[in-house]
Amino acid sequence: MSAATTTEDDAIGTRAWAILFAAWALALIASLGALFIGEVMGQAPCSLCWHQRAFMFPLPVLLAVACYRSDTDIWRYVLPLATIGWLVAGWHSLLFYGVVSEAIQPCAASGPSCSGDAMMLGWAPLPMLSFLTFTAILILMTLLARGGRKA
């Protein structure tokens, strides 16, 4: 094996690890943020938030192990979880912005409302933050799945 091939493989490995680390950091920040909002701030999550958490919370653990082992095949497990979470967060965002009718709103009957001020974190609504985080993780996992191949 030539020195150029080894250098190229090292660059691809470093890039893959950086992608894994970025996805792990995003998932960890999102999970800790959800726990902070629920446990420290005392804001009860609606049912759609619970579903999003169910798909976000395993990601920091999976991605941490993948970072430790430099496992670039983790995308096979992360993509399905992140895709389902992305779909729920997208639905929740549509509900928050009033695109989806309130007649089919799953969280107003019992628990917090999806459209209240409690769903805001500063300037950004929580459903949109979740949607953007899942989007970023999906993009990173797609890049990881492509490996070192060029566009």
pLDDT digits over 5-56, tens only?
555 556 557 889 999 999 999 999 999 999 988 888 777 788 888 999 999 9
Domain boundary assignment for the chain = 3-146
- Give the C-alpha separation, 117 to 125, whole Å: 9
- Which whole-number Å values give the CA distances from 86 to 5, 32, 101, 129, in the listed order? 37, 18, 20, 11
Among the listed residues 136, 149, 135, 4, the one whose alpha carbon sits nearest the alpha carbon of residue 72? 149
Q: For the whole model, what pTM was predicted? A: 0.82
The CATH number of the structural domain formed by 3-146 is 1.20.1550
Give the total residue count for the chain: 151
Q: Measure the CA angle with vertex 74, ends 148 and 137; round to 5°.
A: 80
The 10s digit of each residue's pLDDT in 73-126 is: 999 999 999 999 999 999 988 888 888 876 555 555 555 555 556 566 667 888
